[in-house]
Structure 1
Amino acid sequence: MDPITLGYLGLALLVVLIFFGVPVAYAAAFTGIVGITMIRGFGVASGLAGIIPYANSASYSFSVLPLFIAIGFLAMHAGITTAAYDAARVWVGRAPGGLATATIFASAGFAAVSGASTASTAVFTRLALPEMEKRGYDQALAAGVVAVGGTLAALIPPSALLVIYGILVEESIAKLLLAGVIPGAISIIVYLIVIFTVVTINPKLAPRQPAYSMMEKLKTLPQVWGIFGVVGVILGGIYMGWMTPTESAAVATAIIFIMSLQKKMKFVDLKNGLLDTVKTSVMIFMVIWGVMIFVRFMAFTGLPAEITNMIVGLDVPREYILISVIIMYLLMGMILDGLGMMMLTLPVVFPALMGLGYDPIWFGILLVKLIEIGVVTPPVGLNCYVVNGIRPDIPLEKVFRGVAPFLIGELVIVGIIVAFPELILALPNMMK
């Protein structure tokens, strides 16, 4: 069989397997092994399947991923997230939609020590959602804020998705992490504008809260010093060239661990945090291993190069192709999880867009933002399902209704990323 045709059949098989619920790691590995067997024989396929997991994991740069994951789980089990929310509530709770605003700020703080969107959503569904309900907030708005706030963990460093993207396309993880800072800040601002607009139109959705004195506000600051320390270590160390991403992640993990001890974290919480870290890390590495086998199969077929040449040769402006890719990801986000989308499409889409002259760091930020839109978009908005799973008394359609105004804001953010790529690349380009 012609290798190009076999490549198309391999892609189709992968899509079908994922559609029927086969985990991405197994679907990608199975398709890759079968495809390589048909091209090079079973001996080569089995040999590559045995070599690739070690060859793609025994790398110093890979250790950054479990360290970033550990930061988030230790912070969650130590109660550091609760302190961040309390501080945000005291400082901005009095403003229109103040508790919703506090949830966004606290989600950003958790994002700075986490990197996992669903973990952030789960934490604030338990923490912030009951608080907003108790203070008279509309349940749909409260649920939507929690779901959308979780998406910040994908952009604000440390971001697991950006690390995985950097590993897959062999780009600088340090530059990717720095590139996420400005679009993360833009996302926060847009979310706050959406909240302010919604509660201004209908003030009954979010009753005003009591004001706190400046002394009460200042007393909350010591509770969040560790989060600022983690952010400073990760971003400052990388930006100044003092530390690699892995080194900064190790120091940040140590800071969170010390904070956990200061908060007298129980041994069972420490154990649960470490177990969650191991489980999540293994899951992600299994996906990477499976996809790497599939990518090797794609390389044997020559399909990525064929598609790249075809797209580059199209007699249309490259902006039209980029818009088509954005629409494709928005549609895929309605039916696939973020990691699956990235693994399924990058082997083909990435070389094609690089052939059109787009910057790989900028595209990584755009891709992660599109993935995060998917996790709050019906019918398969993973963050919305997390909210509903923890709070089954809140119907799924109500969660999606609360998210709806934010989807308009998300499209505005995508427009800013596309129209002003220099904003995304400003910090990476200044990195020492």
Structure 2
Amino acid sequence: MALAAVSSCGVFSAISGSSLATAASMARVALPEMRKHGYSASLATGTLAAGGTLGIMIPPSIALLLYALITEQSVDQMFIAAISPGLLGLLLYCVAIALTVLIKPDLAQPGEPTTIRQKVSGLKGIVPFGMIFAVIIGGIYGGIFTPTEASAFGAAGAFIIAVFRGMRWAGFRAAIEETLLLPSMICFMIIGAEIFGYFLSVSRISFSLAELVVSLDLGPYAVLLAVLALYMLLGCVMDSIAMLLLTVPVVFPVIAQAGFDPVWFGIVTVIAVEMGLITPPVGMNVFVIKSVAPDVPIGAIFKGVFPFVLSDIARLALLIAFPGLALAML
């Protein structure tokens, strides 16, 4: 069930493009079922908090779009380069779940066995998601419409599918209310993070840290590791969007001068920023899950995301060692 939940997060994030929206939406659907079937609170909430971070990498991605705008890179190339690292992240998250349950079997109860026919039959439910994903990504890559226009097509497609699946006025009204309530909660969290980020900007802490990295006169990979360490440090106290807005204009020239590919660096940067969404003390996804499950201690959620942080570190190491994982499809 945990594997299904994190995989569903990957599918949903391919449509929404937002980590916070993915975490909040999937937590409302999957968390009650996981806890009802005997999952520990830490594993259930940690899986969903980490699974939500896939929304920042699997295209279409708001963070990748923002990076492309700041650095004047092609949005299409950023999205294409993100596909393999995004799928790699999903795979490593599944490995993290499997190893966690293997080491501590009491964290989850075994589910009911199913036949191959039942598994294949269950895939029918994701066909509509696949259709919407194909329209969004195919339209962007084919130059039919912009990412903003693609979101409108995605919303329209989701509405049409819901109507054909039996949604009527009561369901439509409930969907609108839920849509208004959920982003309102998320927006207030982002507003607080942005205000905090602004105060950090005024204090010039982020600029001072970036200037310190430049002044050390290090080699290319030493500069890269220092920048990634900077992002992981800032991720503990800042929102991902605020981090990109404040630091990319400062560190990008340094990275370009070091000879790194700008598209590849964008992927690595977004993964590092993604880790900030689940690291203490200000992991935004963790607080989103906390708002959905107020009875779960915040410490238990951070404990649950620890294996996923390790898998993200492994993904960063693989991308640094093998840049082709991101650039091969360009």
TM-score > 0.5, shorter chain as reference: yes
How far residue 216 of structure 1 moved from its aligned partner, in angstroms, is 3.1
Corresponding residue for residue 225 of structure 1? 127
Asked if the contact 2:93–2:308 (Cα under 8 Å) also holds between the matched residues in 1, the reply is yes
Matched, 1:236 2:141: no
Equivalent runs, 1:3-152 vs 2, <5 Å = 99-152=1-54
C-alpha distance in 2 between matches for 1:390 and 1:275: 15
Contact in 2 for aligned 1:162/1:368 (Cα 8 Å): yes
Tell me which of 303, 309, 314 is aligned to 1:412: 314
- Measured against aligned partners, the alpha-carbon deviations of 1:322-350 in whole angstroms (never above 9, x if no partner) come to 11000010011111111111111122111
Whichever of the two has the greater Rg, that structure is 1
Instruction: Report the Cα offset of residue 307 of structure 1.
Output: 6.0
Asked whether 1:160 is paired with 2:62, we answer yes
* Distance 1:317-1:404 versus aligned 2 partners, 3 A rule: same
Alpha-carbon RMSD? 3.0
Partner AA of 2:131 in structure 1: G
Task: Kindly indicate whether the alpha-carbon contact (under 8 Å) linking 1:161 and 1:339 is maintained by their aligned counterparts in 2.
Answer: yes
Unaligned runs of 5+ in 2: none
User: Which amino acid in the other structure matches residue 408 of structure 1?
Assistant: L
Q: Distance in 2 between matches of 1:402 and 1:314?
A: 36
* Per-residue deviation, residues 7-63 of structure 1 (Å, max 9, x unmatched): xxxxxxxxxxxxxxxxxxxxxxxxxxxxxxxxxxxxxxxxxxxxxxxxxxxxxxxxx
Deviation at 1:260, TM superposition (A): 2.6
Q: Is the 8 A contact 2:55 2:61 kept in 1?
A: yes
Q: Which moved more, 1:217-226 or 1:182-191?
A: 217-226
2:173 equivalent in structure 1 = 268
The number of equivalent residue pairs is 314
Deviations 1:214-241 (A, max 9, x none): 4433433332212111222233344455
Identical pairs, percent = 36
Matched, 1:213 2:213: no
Alpha-carbon distance in structure 1 between the residues aligned to 2:267 and 2:20 = 18
Please say if residues 174 and 245 of structure 1, whose CA atoms lie closer than 8 Å, have aligned partners that are also in contact: no
Deviations 1:184-243 (A, max 9, x none): 110011111111111111222122111223443343333221211122223334445565
Q: Which amino acid aligns with 1:268?
A: R
2:293 maps to amino acid: R
Closer/same/farther in 2, CA of residues 117 and 130 from structure 1, 3 Å limit: same
| 1:278–1:382 CA distance, 2 compared to 1 (3 A) | closer
Three-state SS of the structure 1 residue aligned to 2:16 is coil
Corresponding position: 1:371 with 2:276: no
Q: Is the 8 A contact 2:81 2:326 kept in 1?
A: yes
SS in 2 for 1:113: helix
| Long gaps (5+) in structure 1 | 1-98
Pick aligned residue for 1:189 from 86, 91, 95: 91
